[in-house]
Amino acid sequence: MTLNFEVKKIPLRDFFKNPDKINYKISLDGKYLSYLAPWENRLNIFVQQIGSDVSTRVTSEKDRDIAGYFWGSNDRILYLKDKNGDENFHLYAVDKDGGNLIDLTPFDNVTTHIIDELEEIEEEVLIGLNKRNPEIFDVYRLNIITGKMDMAAENPGNISSWLTDHNGKIRIAITTDGVNSSLLYREDEEHPFKNILTTSFKETLSPLFFTFDNKNFYAASNINRDKSAIVKIDPQTGKEIELIYEHSEVDVSDLDYSKKRKVLTAIGFITWKRELVYLDDEAKSIYERIKKEINGNFEIIISDENKDEDKFLVRSYSDRSLGSYYFYNKNTDEVLKLADIGSWLKEKELAYTKPITYKSCDGLTIHGYLTLPNISEHKNLPVVVNVHGGPWARDIWGYDPEVQFLANRGYAILQINFRGSTGYGKKFWEASFKKWGKEMQSDISDGVKWLIEQGIADQKRIAIYGGSYGGYATLAGLAFTPELYACGVDYVGVSNLFTFMKTIPPYWKPFLDMMYEMVGNPDKDIELLKEASPVFHVDKIKAPLFIAQGRMDPRVNVNESDQMVEALKNRGIEVPYMVKDNEGHGFRNEENRFEFYEEMEKFLERHLK
């Protein structure tokens, strides 16, 4: 493929290298900033006093990026890190000057969930651990200085999540039998839980947080409606007592509030892009003040604040920029830029991402995004169909390094929120049940045909690519619609639905019956799953295929890729196959990302000339 002269070719590593500074946070007392930055090619935590340009590196991780972190107190930072992508996350604590580093959860084959950061209790957090039983999580109250840990709630075997009130007391639990969920409530930690509501997994009532008097709670609910709405629930009865907000076209699930002022501040939801509805004049004025300061076509998120809520961190972003971090001091009304993220990328050299809609072959409205390269004529272009994972997730508008990289190389990129993608209501989600490789795949095929009809796509130069479920969709696309694609790239994708179900992480097992309803039961739906498993249909694959996999992947076992490669080899077809021993469900280490995308670039260029 010859690159159009209008496009300046940006070095591949500029899209996929670690940013200089990212994930800024502010200490609870508002005196310090922290952020992640590369050291020895891994993202580590740095701390600086507000007003100072001097920063201190407080962690020294060399084998793996820090996956996430937060301020546990004014002096102590907590962070999560796994080993080689196995997703058995340990929780570590370190002082803000780098001293007193402790592995708080030094257990093998155990993963940590953060349940409540307990901002009001300086030395403690609530965490979930599956160390007693790998399939379920008990709650522990953990001292972040000494590492002392006491069980706060023992899981009887069916609780999938817990919710605390504003005093850090565990008051709500959600149980599951794999298909039905029950909402349990108690007056306080001295009283037993009682069941106040049971629904099937198709109906969701997701508690968000308690009202400020700790008597009722807010939730996202689709009970008796198609689209999830924000509601207030009486925990004594499980009944909805107030509708706070709903949207006619999309689910609404985000509700923000001021801890200090004890008021609801904003509702968040996603149409084709993120939108906010403000419930509070003060929060709205802060947002508008910061937005006015930031020039250009940027959206902003107020990403963090201190306990007094007079200092705020802000993140800007767009479809053509990773954006920047800003610090806003409400007392001085000053907005200060902290750092540009990916400053080496220039917005004017990147491509616009625009929303699209089309009709599926059975009449559903399918939403998605189209990104076209920065060239004057958008006709007969080579195309990469980039399928999202999940599958019960969705693509959203914003900066995507894969999309921008591919557009810079002259490809049009089609992203599709096929049926089952979240955010579009209950019916659209349920339309995906037991439809892997069938209607879910047809929605993708219909998008490809729509792009051809628009005259944008060269039907002889279309590739399909994705990770996780997107990797499955790649294999399914090549096997079930071989006429559509010139090549495919499968990244940690499922190939065999029988073996996939048998190798899921142990803590997914409580949801296995739900998976059987949504995907298929390997004992009862044998023909259905065989039809939908690409590994049994390799004889139909005609287009070249490149596969990449992490050996430590706990979600999509390496055997999923191994058996696909073996099946093709048995037919005399050699498949480029990249396996990384120190990676899991996707490549986190920078050098592995570079190698994967460099091979992918050569592969696409070879087959979409």
Assigned token pair, 513 = 């019956």
Residue numbers annotated as active site: 468, 553, 585
Q: pLDDT for 358-413, tens place per residue?
A: 999 999 999 999 999 999 899 999 999 999 999 999 999 999 999 999 999 999 99
* Average pLDDT of the residues in 64-76: 95
Domains of the chain from N-terminus onward: 103-340 (2.130.10.10), 347-607 (3.40.50.1820)
The answer to whether 8 and 344 are in contact (CB under 8 A) is: no
Q: In sequence order, which ranges of 181-310 are alpha helices (DSSP H)?
A: 281-293
Give the whole-angstrom CA distance, residue 597 versus residue 244. Answer: 45
How many other β-carbons are positioned within 10 Å of the β-carbon of residue 224?
Answer: 8
Assigned token pair, 511 = 């949801």
- What is the Cα gyration radius of the chain? 24
153 phi/psi in degrees, rounded to 5 = -160, 125
Examine the pLDDT at 2 and tell me if it is beyond 80: no
By mean pLDDT, which of 339-348, 444-453, 471-480 is the weakest? 339-348
Q: Kindly write down the DSSP assignment for every residue of 172-189, as one continuous string.
A: EEEEESSSEEEEEE-SST
Conformational region of residue 41, where left means phi above 0, alpha means psi within -120 to 50, and beta covers everything else: left
Of 124, 20, 21, give the one whose Cα is nearest residue 78.
124
**pLDDT at res. 295:** 74
**pLDDT at res. 299:** 84
* Average pLDDT of the residues in 572-581: 95
pLDDT band at 6 (very low <50, low <70, confident <90, very high): low
Q: pLDDT for 40-58, tens place per residue?
A: 999 999 999 998 989 999 9
**pLDDT at res. 173:** 96
* Average pLDDT of the residues in 192-207: 94
**pLDDT at res. 119:** 87
Higher pLDDT pick, 7 / 10: 10
**pLDDT at res. 1:** 40
**pLDDT at res. 3:** 44
Residue whose pair of structure tokens reads 């409580």 in the numeric block: 510
Give the whole-angstrom CA distance, residue 412 versus residue 508. Answer: 37
Q: pLDDT for 419-436, tens place per residue?
A: 999 999 999 999 999 999
Give the whole-angstrom CA distance, residue 359 versus residue 8. Answer: 35
